[in-house]
Amino acid sequence: MSRAERLLQLLQVLRRYRRPVSGQALSDELGVSIRTLYRDIASLQAQGAMIEGEPGIGYVMKPGFMLPPIMLGSEELDALVLGMRWVADRCDKTLSSGALSALAKIAAVLPAELHRELEESSLLVGAPLTRPTHTISPDLLRAAVRAEQKLDITYVNGAGIHSRRIVWPFALVYFDQSRVLMCWCELRADFRNFRSDRILSVEQMEERYPKKRSTLLREWRKFNQVASRTILPESDSIDR
């Protein structure tokens, strides 16, 4: 590992701590000597990093400090390019445009060598066998999730039975062949998943649901562990 990579890694480690962490703990995590750790911290402070503390007390980085342009390893760069290309190819126009824009911004701040490696990446995304047809805009579903607002939906299940539900959307799951809206369903008083291509109509209600989406997600994960369910586009976890 180069010194530049080590300094960047130190910054990333410090970002995880909200309270002062000892130099020894940092050196152990980074796999360097305590002398090297102290020298690296001094170098970062000299370069403007807002790191407070001293030997024997501990170190903490002030909130709001922005990391310099990230140096990526080959595997990290491959993962980034492949992920962005998957989103650009598989998702709706809004997310596709966002993925390409984000990739362009990252490419703009990479060193010349990494920029060339990004452009010449040979990890490609194959075309799906079929693409789902959505009556409802994914933008509307994502907006409801972000705003933590209830949705009034009309849904048709695999047997062709229609139902009307008031749901609390807290996540949207992307599969190659489908999208699944994860919700708390007021009708069932339980967690339910709805394939977005089977949602016939949707109205975003002004009323916000009474819990945070992060709370619902935690509760779903806990319930999922007990019930041994998985988020599959064709399973009993999808509402029928």
* Burial of 231: CB neighbours in 10 Å, binned 0-12, 13-18, 19+: middle
> Could you tell me how many residues make up the chain?
240
- Asked if 225 contacts 160 with a C-beta cutoff of 8 angstroms, the reply is no
Say whether pLDDT at 4 is over 80. no
Q: In this structure, are strands 58-61 and 51-54 parallel, antiparallel, or unpaired? A: antiparallel
| Mean pLDDT in residue range 29-42 | 93
pLDDT tens across 61-89, in order?
887 665 555 567 778 889 999 999 999 99
Tell me how far apart the alpha carbons of residues 49 and 108 are, in angstroms, rounded to a whole number: 23
Give me the sign of the Cα torsion angle 96, 103, 115, 7. negative
| Mean pLDDT in residue range 30-54 | 89
pLDDT tens across 193-230, in order?
999 999 999 999 999 999 999 999 999 999 877 655 66
Per DSSP, the chain holds a count of helices (H) and strands (E) of 8, 7
Per DSSP, 129 falls in state: S
- Asked if 224 contacts 160 with a C-beta cutoff of 8 angstroms, the reply is no
Half-sphere exposure of 185 (CA within 13 A, CB side): 19
Give the rounded distance of the alpha carbon of 73 from its chain centre: 20
Q: CA angle 45-48-34, nearest 5°?
A: 20
Residue with tokens 């999208």: 179
Taking CA atoms, 142 is separated from 96, 193, 214, in Å, by: 14, 15, 14
Domains and CATH numbers, the chain: 3-61 (1.10.10.10), 74-119 (no CATH), 138-227 (2.30.30)
